[in-house]
Amino acid sequence: MTPTAPSQLPDERPQLRYSVVILSYNQEDYIGDAIRSVLTQECFPVEILVSDDCSTDGTFHAAQRAVEGYRGPHSLHMRRNPKNMGLIAHINQIVETATGDVIIPAYGDDISLPSRVAEIAKLFEARAPLLVHSDAIAIDENGNETRSHYRKADFYRTTDALQTATSMALYLGASGAWHRELFSKYGPIRHPNVYEDHILGFRAALENRVAFIDKPLLKYREGVGISHQLNRERHREDAGTRRRKILDMMIATFSQRLADAATHGMSANHAVMKKLLRAKRKAELRRACYGGIGRMVAGNLSTPGAALSAAAAEGLRIIRRR
């Protein structure tokens, strides 16, 4: 079925330019619905970019079928990477490719509700945030509503940079929209093994420019997205390998946040920097336990308390898995 434009579009024309970017990778069962939900947004004309990260299934062909015959008000472009880049490199790439001041990601297994773009734009125009996120309706792989724990993330409680500096759950990434300034000021995300919401959320918190829309603007599919694909790959690995990758991700996240805090202008003595340095060091010591706990302790005799604490905590994890 060819998607058609809404019969009436809101009269307001925004000051900012908006790009909706549909990111896909191996989501052939869902990409059609994701695209149609964007093409039928009830909003002013926007740029729509469908970007596939070299899917190995029929995702790109399904995307082509979904846009076939589109004659609506939006500017539509499709692209496909010749090689798989991975999520973070793909995001860095589409930020360069898209022309909007604001980038609204729409992941290939989620469904944007009709007013999503208009509601996000309304808040960007009124309050000039750098990050907007919203509530969502969680659905399962069959489209049935299900329970989700995303509301336990810290931004639903506070967006204070110090309180959230070491958080590994800031907001529901699928619901986010980003101002380009999060990249033009801080640069591309440098570490491939992080989640973009962990980085962009912290950057926006540093600037004290996070805004929340307290209504569902999308149907968020639990358990089948790109990040969940990465998690499933981890779960197929043995517990030790899985734990090492989690610690590597934490170290990379804290490293990126330290660099971003420095770019923001924080000194090494700032409370945020100190908190991040402690968390990074703790994760590094725990990671070193997987090369031998005794070797880790012997190599960190200058900080025996921290080394012994890491050895005890991570050693207990290792023993429990035996």
DSSP codes, 156-200: GT---TTTTTT-S--S-GGG-EEETHHHHTT-S---TTS-HHHHH
| Averaged confidence pLDDT in the chain | 92
Same domain, residue pair 160 and 309: no
75 in a structural domain: yes
Which backbone phi and psi does 162 adopt, to 5 degrees?
-70, -45
Same domain, residue pair 118 and 242: no
User: For the CA atoms of 263, 268, 273, 279, what is the dihedral angle to 10 degrees?
Assistant: 130
Q: What is the pLDDT of residues 28-38, one digit of tens each?
A: 999 999 999 99
Same domain, residue pair 72 and 117: yes
2 in a structural domain: no
Q: What is the pLDDT of residues 138-159, one digit of tens each?
A: 999 999 999 999 999 999 999 9
Q: Which residues contact 22 (CB under 8 A, 6 or more apart)?
A: 31, 34, 35, 38, 48, 49, 50, 51, 63, 106, 107, 108
The pLDDT assigned to 211 comes to: 99
Same domain, residue pair 189 and 156: yes
Q: Between β-strands 210-221 and 111-112, what pairing exists: parallel, antiparallel or unpaired?
A: antiparallel
13 in a structural domain: no
229 in a structural domain: no
Average pLDDT, integer, range 107-135: 98
SS3 label, residue 239: helix
Q: How far apart are CA 277 and CA 274, in angstroms?
A: 5
299 in a structural domain: yes
Same domain, residue pair 280 and 211: no
Q: Is residue 109 predicted with pLDDT exceeding 50?
A: yes
The pLDDT assigned to 309 comes to: 84
Question: CATH code at 149?
Answer: 3.90.550.10
The pLDDT assigned to 316 comes to: 79
Same domain, residue pair 154 and 269: no
207 in a structural domain: yes
Residue where one domain finishes, among candidates 190, 223, 256? 223
Same domain, residue pair 145 and 257: no
The pLDDT assigned to 162 comes to: 99
Q: How remote is the C-alpha of 22 from its chain's centroid?
A: 13
Same domain, residue pair 126 and 182: yes
Report yes or no: 182 and 104 within 8 Å, Cβ to Cβ: no
Average pLDDT, integer, range 301-307: 81
Average pLDDT, integer, range 94-99: 98
Report yes or no: 56 and 82 within 8 Å, Cβ to Cβ: no
115 in a structural domain: yes
Residue where one domain finishes, among candidates 223, 254, 285? 223
Same domain, residue pair 90 and 173: yes
Q: What is the pLDDT of residues 181-240, one digit of tens each?
A: 999 999 999 999 999 999 999 999 999 999 999 999 999 999 775 555 555 554 556 888
Which backbone phi and psi does 84 adopt, to 5 degrees?
-65, 130
Residue where one domain finishes, among candidates 223, 256, 286? 223
Our count of domains for the chain comes to 2
Query: What range does the domain containing 289 cover?
Result: 237-320
Same domain, residue pair 23 and 51: yes
56 in a structural domain: yes
Q: Is residue 9 predicted with pLDDT exceeding 50?
A: no
Q: How far is CA 211 from CA 26, 33, 120, 177, in A?
A: 31, 27, 10, 10
